[in-house]
């Protein structure tokens, strides 16, 4: 019995290593997991209670609180911290994801090329890579058949999460945008809010009488 358990344990370990190796091999460039530690705790990815009436699968961007929600149904959503457009460059509205890309090429729009030396250097396009402003993934937002030129994308500057610093796009740390990328498909509705915020609560552990009580309907553990 012990030998069988040992063999099963070794098999499980080997399977995990193979899966991790395949994942690493599938990535063109490494995605840093340490970026999570560089983001304030309140902006780290987590599942939350969600009270708005959007359909499951919808992406909601709350630019005031700087959160992106992927509605999951059952009163739940996956919440991600984001960086948003600085004053004068923010955007809001209803759009649809019509294109997805891994390690995308960055081609700055003409108006950015005119005002930014770095953008001007890459006016013809910057290949995907660790220093590319779009990061590890990009989701391209369209209204009808018109490209809004706004994206949900990664970043190699995790300290920008929770700040209004972009030229209007929604930025996420690479680990988060890769997670979101795998959860959504083309045709996904994206709602970028302005002037109001989403009604949602994070589940926060609280100690009470020697037990851990999860607020908002979570479980109690000894």
Give a yes or no: residue 13 inside a domain: no
Indicate yes or no: pTM above 0.75. yes
Model confidence over 81-122: pLDDT tens digits? 999 977 545 678 999 999 999 999 988 777 777 777 777 777
- Judge contact between 29 and 129, C-beta under 8 A: yes
Asked if residue 204 is part of any domain, the answer here is no
d(CA 88, CA 93): 15
The 10s digit of each residue's pLDDT in 144-155 is 999 998 999 999
Split at pLDDT 50, 70, 90, the class of 137 is very high
Least confident of 85-94, 132-141, 187-196: 85-94
Residue 77 belongs to a domain: yes
- 68, pLDDT greater than 70: yes
Instruction: Please report whether residue 87 resides in a domain.
Output: yes
Residue 78 lies in a domain: yes
Q: Examine residue 48 and state whether it is found in any structural domain, yes or no.
A: yes
Asked if residue 16 belongs to a domain, the reply is no
Q: Is the pLDDT of residue 161 over 80?
A: yes
Cα separation, 205 vs 197, in Å, equals 24
Higher-confidence residue: 115 or 15? 115
Q: Which of 49, 79, 153, 171 is catalytic?
A: 153
Mean pLDDT computed over 196-207: 67
Residue 89: what pLDDT?
Answer: 52
pLDDT score of 209 more than 70: no
Q: How many Cα atoms sit within 13 Å of 134 on the Cβ side?
A: 24
Task: Check which CATH number belongs to the domain holding 131 and give it.
Answer: 2.40.440.10
207 within a domain of the structure (yes/no): no
CA-wise closest residue to 96 among 198, 179, 185, 195: 185
Instruction: Tabulate helix, strand, coil % of the chain (nearest 5).
Output: 25, 35, 40
Of 66, 169, 173, 190, the catalytic one is 169
pLDDT at 158 over 50: yes
Higher pLDDT, 170 or 208: 170
Report the alpha-carbon distance of residue 136 to residue 11 in Å, rounded.
Answer: 32
In the chain, the DSSP E strands lie at 46-50, 59-62, 67-73, 76-81, 84-85, 93-102, 137-143, 146-153, 164-166, 170-171, 189-193, 200-202, 205-208, 211-214, 220-221
Q: How confident is the model at residue 168 (pLDDT cuts 50, 70, 90)?
A: confident
The verdict on whether 169 is a catalytic residue reads yes
Please indicate whether residue 153 is annotated as part of the active site. Answer: yes
Q: Which of 56, 61, 99 is nearest to 80 (CA)?
A: 61
- pLDDT tens-digit readout, 78-92: 999 999 977 545 678
Domain range for residue 59?
A: 34-196
- With b meaning 16 or more CB within 10 Å and e meaning fewer, what string describes 195-220? eeebebeeeeeeeeeeeeeeeeeeee
**Which position has the higher pLDDT, 15 or 168?**
168
Number of domains in the chain: 1
SS3 159: helix
């Amino acid at each position: 019995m012990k030998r069988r358990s040992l063999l099963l344990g070794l098999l499980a370990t080997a399977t995990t290593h193979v899966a991790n190796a395949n994942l690493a091999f599938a990535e063109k460039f490494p995605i840093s997991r340490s970026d999570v530690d560089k983001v304030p705790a309140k902006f780290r990815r987590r599942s939350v209670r969600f009270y708005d009436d959007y359909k499951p699968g919808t992406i909601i961007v709350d630019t005031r609180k700087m959160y992106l929600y992927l509605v999951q149904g059952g009163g739940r959503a996956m919440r991600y911290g984001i960086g948003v457009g600085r004053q004068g460059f923010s955007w809001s509205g209803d759009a649809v994801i019509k294109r997805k890309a891994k390690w995308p090429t960055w081609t700055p729009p003409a108006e950015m090329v005119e005002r930014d030396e770095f953008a001007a250097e890459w006016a013809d396009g910057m290949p995907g890579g660790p220093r590319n402003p779009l990061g590890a993934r990009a989701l391209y937002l369209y209204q009808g058949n018109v490209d809004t030129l706004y994206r949900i994308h990664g970043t190699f500057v995790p300290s920008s999460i929770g700040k209004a610093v972009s030229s209007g796009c929604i930025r996420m740390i690479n680990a988060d945008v890769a997670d979101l990328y795998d959860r959504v498909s083309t045709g996904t509705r994206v709602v970028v809010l302005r002037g109001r915020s989403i009604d949602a609560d994070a589940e926060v552990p609280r100690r009470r009488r020697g037990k851990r009580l999860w607020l908002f309907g979570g479980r109690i553990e000894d």
